Chain A
Amino acid sequence: MKRAKIGEFEELVLLTVVALREEAYGLSVQQALHNEAKRPVELATVHSALYRLEKKGYVRSVMGGATKQRGGRRKRLFEVTAAGLQTLDEVRLIRKHMWSLIHRPTS
């Protein structure tokens, strides 16, 4: 498939995962979206998005990092894949290109 589709929200989540580097998991992404992107979303929504991203192959996950606050439970930590980065790039380039059309007089 040449052009992979990715939703606007999914793209946002994927970006956050990249930004968060090692500490990307459900709650941290949700908190980041809430605080940085000023986007109050439910935890479940984020989890759902991450699930879809993994299904599409844009992220991979491992279990790890159990803490006391989690009652000893581990987190599912996400890491972007090459395909994911590539998709992000594609999207960014398309956006960039479209934005560039705005200030260029159409000839």
Chain B
Amino acid sequence: MVSPDEQISMPRAARALLHQFCAPRWREEIEGDLEELFAIRVREHGYRFAKLVFWKDVLLFVRPYVLRRTDDYRPAKGPIMFKNYTLVALRNIRKYQLYSFINVFGLAVGIAVCTLLFLFVRHEWSYDQFHANKERLYRLAVTFKETGDAYSSRSAFAAPVGPALQTDYPEVEEVVRVWYTPGSFVQHGDKLLAQSSAAVDPNFFKVFSFNLLRGDPSTALKDPQSVVLTESVVMRFFGTEDPMGQDLLIRIGDTFESFTVTGVVADVSDQSSIQFGLLLPFNRVPDIKQEDVLNEWDDSFTSTFVLLKPGVQAAAVNTKLPGFVMQYYGHWFEGFRNRGIQGADGDLIRYWLQPIADIRLNDSIQAQEATSTPLFNYLLMGIALFILAIACINFVNLAIARAASRMKEIGVRKAMGAVRGQLMQQFWGEALLMSVLAAILGIGMAALFLPIFNDLADKQLVLDIATNANTVLMLGALTFGVGILAGGYPALMLSGFRPVEILRGRLAVHTRQRFGKGLIVFQFMLSVVLIVTSVLVAQQVDFLRNRSVGFDAEQLVVVPTFTSSGENYERYKEALLREANVVGVTGASTPLSFFRGRRSTVIGETRFQSAVLRVDYNFLDMMDIALVAGRDFSEDFSTDATSAVIVNERFVRRAGWTAEEALGQSFPFYEDQPATIVGVMKDFHLTSLHTPLEPTVLHVNPVRAVRFVLAKIQPTNIPGTVETLEATWRTLFPQLPFNYSFMDARLERQYAFEERVSTIMHYAMFFATLVACLGLFGLSALSVARRTKEIGVRKVLGASTFGLVRVLSRQFIALVMVANLLAWPLAYWGTQQLLQNHAYRIDIGITVFVLTGVMSIVLALVTVSYQSVRAALANPVKALRYE
């Protein structure tokens, strides 16, 4: 190689120009002559002059015979070379089996993960898309302003709102109201079961595209005593008989009424936000007295759907809605302002139309229709992309590492006349081949992993390659994309080698070390983030599970009484107490793991919300909740039934008293008279640990009118006891269904989401780390290959194996440490985000970070050691034989 001191070569720009116009056949000699001439000129007249004149020299060569011609140099185009490329590619795979496997495996993992993700996202994003009218279908929603500047949104309205909309606005073609009752009681013959039902307007089938298999869509729900069943409900009650025209008893209010089956509808797809087992006419809502509801404007239980006329824009209707609000709810504004909420009318209460496609994905709106959690979705997407990124990065790294072994081949090819484009074709093709192999493996992995994924995601996804063109398309695009992406840089790099230097054996592996190192740092950083976050999330889940809820939840069976009258409860309690396995029975108006019903409380000048719970006298005792001051409820005091309350410590604090001061205080509570505090109890959780403790008031009025029985049973023979509970119930109340659940199970279920996130993170952590280690393995191989001479010299000079391994591993350990330092803040921030909805959080300790750091270093060492130990043990003679 000519050193810059010996000779200045000709100006590059001019040379590039020559390249552009000069046909390849003359190029060598002309360039050579020009180079010599330039040297002469530099000698005679100096560099500057030579440079100027050089341009003239070059330009004068623009002559017809010199210029490129189309038939000049045609590299073999098209499929001619493919046979060779494939052969070479396969040979390479076989020759370096380990590397090839690592590459393919890594990519396969990435592809599998992305495939699963695709299935998931596609499912989530296509809820409610089966309705023919979906372009014109909306759900009515309302956004309120709360105290401060917070807004909350709901999609639950009073029953008369829908029809009023239809009457008042010509833009509205149809309005359908839906009232859900998750557990309405249906009986046929001797089968009494709770079914999910929806009471809907008769135009239901006109507006929505539910497949009515039998019956007439325009009349099916006209008759007030008609009912439409889904196929599985039919199966449950009628088996294979024809249900049309048959009678079903459904509980409305307190009695069972007879309904006639007027239609059968196909089972509701899980991609429908509107879910039901049977349909009733709107004015026959189970469990509620109709007259109350249909004309009540101050309620909010009905989902209201709006179908606009063709061509009408939702925005246009939205601008008209404030008028509607003012007309029917204008009197509410004053109440808002009294509570201290400020703002224009349109700001306090805003009605708007939500497109039907938005229902599933928008979790800011409280409604009966379930939504998915965007956070969860984004988490999954993020992880999938992470893993894919890591896999592609690996590929690039390993391809670069193997470049050394391909150099002779490249050199020969170039000497034989290969154009750079051809070489790029070849290497990109190899990458695509790997990608295809990876895709095949990846599909297999995805299929294998699908059941677990379905569990995690709470869905029933199917890998529909055979049936769905979209899926095939996606897979194809993914494979192709991965191949292109991963193969791009290596193709570029490998094709750019200079053949002369290669064939002379001169060019050492010309890789940019920094690139490979940067990639490793990135990979390990991702892995560390995932590890730390999963550990922290797992800690949080554990914490929640173990944290005391403030009452004794063990061996506690919850049985709903289904009535508001106390009679059922009393009779049941009495019967249960006679059983040996029952330790005690108490009752409450909610099942404790769930709460809905806060009331505004005013103490002097202070105003706050408190949770109100009606309980049996022995509640505190049974639930093992301690009293801080005062006394428990007692039947000895007749006034307890009408005016006594027990409050918790939070309440007392909010009111501005001490526990002692609170005793005997009165405040407006009951409709006709104030309540007196007779006792102060310790705080306990009414709902999940997601929400903080709040002021709570217990009362016993009316006596024992509780909806939920809380029975404490012996820990032995639990199934037997449950049977006894059931038998007792059936004897007493044959017309009511028996439902039971265990309190601790109920509490566990509250953390289902976190559990799922935790599991996902564990899997993600595993895969990401696996792939990162694979990458490190490859890179260490590369590094060792590059330093063979150095290792040989060290060995000859007497380095020990251990010392050698240490020297070789040093740079990687440093990389991993850097990765850790970068990862820790990121992991910290990430965990904060995930846990922000939790009122009670773990303290994020330093141990996690340190432990992960140490572990990652150890892992890196192990990975690198294979290569470094092998190098350290190799025969130094071989290494030094080169050159």
Contact = CB atoms under 8 A, between A and B. Distances in A.
Given A47-B30, A76-B29, A69 B60 contact: no
Chain B residues touching A, range: 20 to 34
B36 interface: yes
A75 B57 contact: no
Contacts of A75: 29, 32-33
Given A25-B29, A42-B60, A70 B35 contact: yes
B2 interface: yes
A48 B65 contact: yes
B61 A27 contact: no
Contacts of B500: 72
A6 to B, nearest CB: 18
A25 B33 contact: yes
Contacts of B61: 43-44, 47
Given A48-B63, A48-B65, A43 B29 contact: no
B28 interface: yes
Contacts, number: 62
Given A26-B29, A42-B57, A63-B29, A69 B36 contact: yes
B735 to A, nearest CB: 102
Interface string B468-482: 000000000000000
A72 to B, nearest CB: 7
B411 to A, nearest CB: 15
A26 B65 contact: no
Interface in A58-82: 63, 66, 68-76
The secondary structure that dominates the B interface is helix
B37 A73 contact: no
Interface string B1-30: 010000101000000000000000000111
A50 B9 CA distance: 26
Interface string B48-63: 0000000011001101
Contacts of B7: 68-69
A45 B57 CA distance: 10
Interface string B32-44: 1111110110000
A9 B638 CA distance: 136
A68 B3 CA distance: 11
B31 interface: yes
B65 A73 contact: no
Contacts of B60: 42-45
Contact of A70 (B32, B57, B63): B32
A63 B30 CA distance: 12
Nearest to A65: B32
Given A43-B57, A44-B60, A27 B36 contact: yes
Contacts of B28: 63, 73-74
Nearest to B31: A73
Interface in A24-57: 25-27, 30-31, 42-45, 47-48, 51
Contacts of A73: 28-29, 31-32, 35
B579 to A, nearest CB: 102
B35 A69 contact: yes
Contacts of B31: 70-71, 73
A74 B32 contact: yes
A25 B26 CA distance: 13
Nearest to A61: B29
A68 B57 contact: no
A44 B61 CA distance: 5
Contacts of A63: 28-29
Contacts of A25: 29, 33
A42 B63 CA distance: 13
A71 B9 contact: yes
A87 to B, nearest CB: 21
Nearest to A68: B2
Nearest to A66: B32
Contacts of B30: 26, 47
Contacts of B34: 43
Nearest to A52: B65
A72 B37 CA distance: 15
A44 B9 contact: no
Contacts of A43: 33-34, 37, 57, 60-61
A8 to B, nearest CB: 19
A30 B35 CA distance: 14
A72 B32 CA distance: 8
A70 to B, nearest CB: 4
A65 B338 CA distance: 101
A100 to B, nearest CB: 39
Contacts of A42: 56-57, 60
B33 A26 contact: yes
A7 to B, nearest CB: 16
Nearest to A45: B60
Contacts of B2: 68, 71
A63 B33 CA distance: 13
A44 B35 contact: no
Nearest to A72: B500
B32 A71 contact: yes
A4 B273 CA distance: 95
A44 B32 contact: no
B39 A27 contact: no
A30 B36 CA distance: 12
Nearest to A44: B60
B710 to A, nearest CB: 94
Instruction: Tell which of B36, B57, B63, B500 has the most Cβ of chain A within 10 Å.
Output: B36
Instruction: Tell which of A30, A42, A69 has the most Cβ of chain B within 10 Å.
Output: A69
A71 B28 CA distance: 10
Contacts of B33: 25-27, 43, 47, 70, 75
B644 to A, nearest CB: 105
A5 to B, nearest CB: 19
B415 to A, nearest CB: 13
B57 A27 contact: no
A28 to B, nearest CB: 9
Contacts of A74: 28-29, 32
A4 B9 CA distance: 42
Nearest to B27: A73
A52 B31 CA distance: 19
Nearest to B7: A69
A31 B29 CA distance: 16
A24 B56 CA distance: 23
A47 B60 CA distance: 11
Contacts of B36: 27, 69-70
Contacts of B63: 44, 48
A44 B57 contact: yes
A42 B34 CA distance: 11
Contacts of B29: 25-26, 63, 73-76
Contacts of A51: 65
A26 to B, nearest CB: 5
Contacts of B32: 66, 70-71, 73-75
A25 B60 CA distance: 18
A71 B35 contact: yes
A73 B57 CA distance: 18
A90 B25 CA distance: 33
Interface string B488-505: 000000000000100000
A2 B226 CA distance: 116
A51 B29 CA distance: 12
Contacts of A30: 37
Contact of A69 (B39, B57, B65): B39
A24 to B, nearest CB: 12
Interface of A: 25-27, 30-31, 42-45, 47-48, 51, 63, 66, 68-76
Given A43-B34, A47-B30, A47-B61, 15 more contacts: A25-B33, A30-B37, A43-B61, A44-B57, A44-B60, A44-B61, A44-B63, A48-B65, A66-B32, A68-B7, A70-B32, A70-B35, A73-B29, A73-B32, A74-B29
18 contacts: A25-B29, A26-B33, A27-B33, A27-B36, A42-B57, A43-B37, A43-B60, A44-B60, A51-B65, A63-B28, A66-B32, A69-B39, A70-B33, A70-B36, A73-B28, A73-B29, A73-B31, A74-B29
